[in-house]
Amino acid sequence: MPAVIVVGSANIDQVFRVERIPAPGETVLSAGLTTNLGGKGQNQAVAAARAGAATTFIGAVGDDSFGATIRAGLATDGIDAALVRTVDAPSGTALIAVDDAGENTIIVEAGANGALRELSSQDADAVASADVLVMQLEIPLETVQAAAGIARAAGTTVVLNAAPIRDLPDDLLASLDVLVVNEHEAAALADARPGAGGIRALAPVVIVTLGSAGAVLYEGDAPEVRVPAPKVTAVDATGAGDTFCGAFAAAIAEGQSHESALRFSVVAASLSVQVRGAVPSIPQRARIDAELAAII
């Protein structure tokens, strides 16, 4: 079975439904509050597992009810969480507003995620023995750098979703096989490195997700590959990018080409936006395959 390992964050999402996102200084009333599993790391691990990969998650939670809920959620999806630590900090929490168009704004309190500062020898072994390592930027950067270096040395494919965006050190970029960003993140990275050849020069494979327009893949000097998203009615975009990344990781871990994996993960993300919440919206493999079969 293809093996994916995710080193990243796990949060509990407090999601407020609002007619529109409040402007600075404005108060709006919520049409409903839900509490869901989330966090970019956990979301991507769940997406990889539901897409069919044997998935391991390395992260940190607090010794609190949210931490227990996160662990239970990982177990429900069959994700190996033996290396998840419990630390002396509250579990990560996200405050999310979702408007009537399905767009969101998110504030993350890292909490326990910020304590994931070291990788043990067991962590290193797990990273080295996986087919694909997937990471994001909601944990300390030094941990992301360390995991990427271990994976690079071991021949594990390194996928980085550079979200939330920040500039990326050269040693981290040098360890990447695949960089996944959205349009805003792509623009920020390109602006931070003028003259570096643009976003497509930052990794051997660069994917820019385009929301309802799908995604574009750049691989070296080859012509770009654009995959449009199916037309759907979006109710909540939260976790769509994470669904994309986890599904993409599972697809390349099982040997799909980058183009095939791109089609697979665009469809997975388009399914996720039709359901509210992050983890609750992530589709199972059978659903992705059925949708792909219907549009080919």
- Residues in contact with ligand RIB by CB under 6 A are 9, 11, 13, 38-40, 43, 94, 106, 108, 138, 238-239, 241-242, 278
Give me the amino acid identity at 160. Answer: L
- Give the separation between CA 159 and CA 156, rounded to whole angstroms: 10
Q: Which is nearer to ligand RIB, 113 or 156 (CB)?
A: 113
Q: Which residues pair with 7 in a beta bridge?
A: 58, 135
Q: Residue 35 CB, nearest distance to ligand RIB (Å)?
A: 11
State the minimum distance, in angstroms, from the CB of residue 97 to ligand RIB. 12
| Nearest-approach distance from CB 241 to ligand RIB, in angstroms | 6
Nearer of residues 2 and 38 to ligand RIB, judged by Cβ: 38
- 125 counts as catalytic: no
Structure tokens at 276: 């509210």
Q: Which residues contact 209 (CB under 8 A, 6 or more apart)?
A: 180, 181, 182, 183, 215, 241, 244, 269
Report the residue number, 3 or 271, with the smaller CB distance to ligand RIB.
271
Please say which residue, 106 or 188, places its beta carbon nearer to ligand RIB. Answer: 106
Query: Could you tell me the two tokens for 77?
Result: 């999806």
Catalytic entry in 13, 131, 177, 242 = 242
Which helix (DSSP H) or strand (DSSP E) does residue 25 occupy? none
| CA 140 vs CA 8, 59, 130, 251, 275: distances in Å | 9, 11, 21, 27, 30
Whether 36 and 15 have beta carbons less than 8 Å apart is answered as: yes
- In the complex, what is the shortest distance from the CB of residue 54 to ligand RIB, in angstroms, rounded to a whole number? 23
Active-site residue list: 242
